[in-house]
Structure 1
Amino acid sequence: MYVVESKGGAIACMFLALLCLGTWPAIMTLLERRGRLPQHTYLDYSITNLLAAVIIALTFGQIGDSKPDMPNFLTQLAQDNWPCVLFAMTGGFFLSLGNLSTQYAWAFVGLSVTEVVTSSITVVIGTSLNYFLDDRINNAKILFPGVGCFLIAVCLGSAVHYSNAVDNEAKLSALPDSYNDALGDKEKTGSNDAFPNKKDLESVSDHQEKAKVGTAGFLIQLENKRAIKVFGKSTLIGLGLTFFAGFCFSLFSPAFNLATNDQWNTMKDGVPHLVVYTAFFYFSVSCFVIAVILNIGFLFHPILNLPKSSFKAYLADWQGRQWALLAGLLCGFGNGLQFMGGQAAGYAAADAVQALPLVSTFWGVLLFGEYRKSSRRTYVLLVSMLMMFIVAVGVLMASSGHRKT
């Protein structure tokens, strides 16, 4: 079994995890904006997310000979280690709920703000829990000021979302009255199109066939193509989903920490702790089961006024499937690398991968034109949020310790 032991190796794992975990949300957002149902996307994502855990377990978890105190993956599957297995599966349960919530939050709040707020909440709660679970191997004088910076980033992220929502309302209110009437009809009828009347839509297209990013025309064209319709819905829905996801994310890493280090002494005497690869396997199995159960339910009983689907329709939907499968692989390998680094340098420091919004924001601005043509107030808040986030991540990584073997 391959074990990351050095602080440098742990940081390398965190950096690679950061790239993976910051990119897969952009892929999922792109598919939703192209009209693919989120239920279909998440089912595809879940398959390869589990596949990544199996690949990691059968490669890194099987390298070299098995040792009594550190058995290989396959050897440990037969051992009586169910108390810690349940901790790992609990972590997978929370991660699956968090990822599922963010899939809907991205549509309402935007990729950048959603990732910053959820990651900051994860650090504020999860990192504090991991610090005490890890026997305080991280430098508290550095760690907790960093946690405070993340808390400030949460507040700034909420302010950015509110300011951007006001900007978008101003853009839409500047449209001719006929367009605003169409939007009002959409809100009353619950239609899936911002302009259910074809003539209204054609009129917009005539003038803004290739609407510039950030304009009212762009917002309307996006609304008509995307799977999750957001016009007419309260902005509190997006923030509520975001904060719920952040709470779920804050619990999965401490649960995984308990699974691999058994700080509460739940294992029988003589039974070795779960190695990170075995714990990650059970963690991912739990993620997969929860995702499949919930999303098959959402096929027939969708939320947020999404259209109904079926399992047959899901199997026949190949539009963008390869991207959803890629997103699952990136997320799976990203989580695995985060846990490998956390086992070496402490899970509190490994939460530095929550810098993933810096990657997601890059994709959000580059691919989706987020915050284009927004007000100066929004830009100031956005830059302030990202700067505070960068400071917080740097402080968190500086708090890295080294786990005693």
Structure 2
Amino acid sequence: MFVVESKAGAIACMLLALIFLGTWPALMTLLERRGRLPQHTYLDYTLTNFLAAIIIALTFGEIGGSTPEKPNFIAQLSQDNWPSALFAMGGGVVLSLGNLSTQYAWALVGLSVTEVICACITVVIGSTLNYFLDDKMNRADVLFPGVSCFLIAVGLGSAVHSSNAADNKEKLQGAGYSTTLKDAITNEELKNLESGNKTPEKAKAGTAEFLLDIENRRAIKVFGKSSILGLLITFFAGICFSLFSPAFNLATNDQWHTLKEGVPHLVVYTAFFYFSMSCFAVALVLNITFLYRPMLGAPRSSFKAYLNDWNGRGWAFLAGFLCGFGNGLQFMGGQAAGYAAADAVQALPLVSTFWGILLFGEYWKSSRRTYVLLSGMLFMFIVAVGVLMASSGHRK
């Protein structure tokens, strides 16, 4: 079994996880804005997300010999370790609920703001829990200032959203549209948009026409829906995310002594397999349900329609692999250097915001106030990720 033991190796795992976990939401958002139903995308995503866990378990979890203290993945599947396995599966359930919620939050409040708020809640609650579960192995004088940076970033993220929403409203009104981000587009305006009477052949990012063009093509219509609903969904997702890492910590280190005497702790790869299996099961049940009873006004679908929908399926599969390998790397680094330090990967809004600006035209042609707030938010994330990684300890 391959084990990450050095601090440098743990930090390398965290950095790779940061890139992967910051990229997969951008791919999911891209497909939704191109009109693909989120239920279809998430079903594809969850298949490869689980496949990534199986690949990790059968490769890293089977490298080298198996010992009684640290058995390989397959050897451990037959052991009496169900209390720890249940903790791992509980972590997978809350992660699945969080990921599912963010699908709709991305549409309502944007990729960048959703990731910022979720990441900050995850760090503030999750890192604190992990610090105490790991018997304070991380340096408190470094860790908690890093957590404070995340907390400041969530305030800045909320301010960025408010400022950007006001900018978009002003753009729409200034262009002569009666619609705003809180009012539904009229049928006449949609006809004008489709016929090209008011929209150029390719609307420039950041313009009112660009905003309306996105609304016309996307799977989840957001005009006429309150951004407050999006923020509530975002906070719910953040709370779910804050619990999955502590649950995984309990699964691999058994701080509550739930295992029978002589039974070895779950290794990362076995715990990650159980974690991903429950995540897959919850996602499968809920998304098949949402095919027939969609949320937030998304179009109704069917399992047959899902199977026949190959538009963007490759991107959805890639998103699942990125998330699966990202989570696996986060846990590998956390087992070596402390799960509180591994929460540095929650600086993924650094990556998501980059993709949001590059792919989706977020914040283009915004006000100076929005740009100042956005710069401050990103700066706080850069500081936070450096500080949290610097708090890394070494598990005995």
TM-score bracket for this pair, using the shorter chain length: over 0.9
How do 1:209-288 residues align onto structure 2 when only pairs under 5 Å count?
Answer: 209-288=201-280
How do 1:6-405 residues align onto structure 2 when only pairs under 5 Å count?
Answer: 6-176=6-176, 179-180=177-178, 187=184, 195=187, 199-202=191-194, 204-205=196-197, 207-404=199-396
Q: Which moved more, 1:74-83 or 1:377-386?
A: 377-386
- SS of 2:178's equivalent in the other structure is helix
1:204, 1:217 within 8 Å by CA — same for their partners in 2? no
| Equivalences, count | 396
1:186 CA displacement: 7.3
1:72 CA displacement: 0.5
1:196 CA displacement: 5.6
Partners of 2:8 and 2:72 in 1: CA distance:
24
AA partner of residue 133 (structure 1): L
AA partner of residue 388 (structure 2): L
Q: Which moved more, 1:101-110 or 1:324-333?
A: 101-110
CA 1:295 to 1:221, structure 2 compared with 1: closer, same or farther past 3 Å?
Answer: same
CA 1:196 to 1:310, structure 2 compared with 1: closer, same or farther past 3 Å?
Answer: farther
- SS of 1:43's equivalent in the other structure is helix
AA partner of residue 53 (structure 1): A
1:207 CA displacement: 4.3
1:46 CA displacement: 0.2
1:245 CA displacement: 0.9
AA partner of residue 113 (structure 2): V
1:194, 1:223 within 8 Å by CA — same for their partners in 2? no
AA partner of residue 300 (structure 2): K
CA 1:198 to 1:150, structure 2 compared with 1: closer, same or farther past 3 Å?
Answer: closer
Deviation readout 1:3-37 (Å, 9 max, x if unpaired): 11111111111111111111111110100010000
- SS of 1:100's equivalent in the other structure is helix
1:194, 1:231 within 8 Å by CA — same for their partners in 2? no
1:184 CA displacement: 10
2:193, 2:199 within 8 Å by CA — same for their partners in 1? no
Deviation readout 1:57-114 (Å, 9 max, x if unpaired): 0000011111001111000000010000000000000110111111111111111111
CA 1:260 to 1:378, structure 2 compared with 1: closer, same or farther past 3 Å?
Answer: same
CA 1:263 to 1:217, structure 2 compared with 1: closer, same or farther past 3 Å?
Answer: same
Q: Which residue of 2 aligns with 1:190?
A: none
Deviation readout 1:120-160 (Å, 9 max, x if unpaired): 11000000000000010000011111111111111111111
1:194, 1:224 within 8 Å by CA — same for their partners in 2? no
1:185 CA displacement: 12
2:182, 2:224 within 8 Å by CA — same for their partners in 1? no
1:199 CA displacement: 4.0
1:205 CA displacement: 4.6
2:101, 2:237 within 8 Å by CA — same for their partners in 1? yes
2:181, 2:223 within 8 Å by CA — same for their partners in 1? no
AA partner of residue 332 (structure 2): M
What TM-score do the two structures reach when normalised by structure 2? 0.97
Q: Which moved more, 1:226-235 or 1:273-282?
A: 226-235
Partners of 2:143 and 2:379 in 1: CA distance:
18
1:200 CA displacement: 2.4
2:190, 2:216 within 8 Å by CA — same for their partners in 1? no
Give % identity. Answer: 74
What TM-score do the two structures reach when normalised by structure 1? 0.95
CA 1:351 to 1:204, structure 2 compared with 1: closer, same or farther past 3 Å?
Answer: same
Partners of 1:155 and 1:130 in 2: CA distance:
23
Deviation readout 1:338-362 (Å, 9 max, x if unpaired): 1001000000001111121111111
Q: Which moved more, 1:378-387 or 1:43-52?
A: 378-387
Deviation readout 1:383-402 (Å, 9 max, x if unpaired): 11111121111111111101
Partners of 1:384 and 1:184 in 2: CA distance:
25
- In structure 2, list runs of 5 or more residues that go unmatched: none
CA 1:89 to 1:337, structure 2 compared with 1: closer, same or farther past 3 Å?
Answer: same
AA partner of residue 63 (structure 1): I
CA 1:196 to 1:267, structure 2 compared with 1: closer, same or farther past 3 Å?
Answer: farther
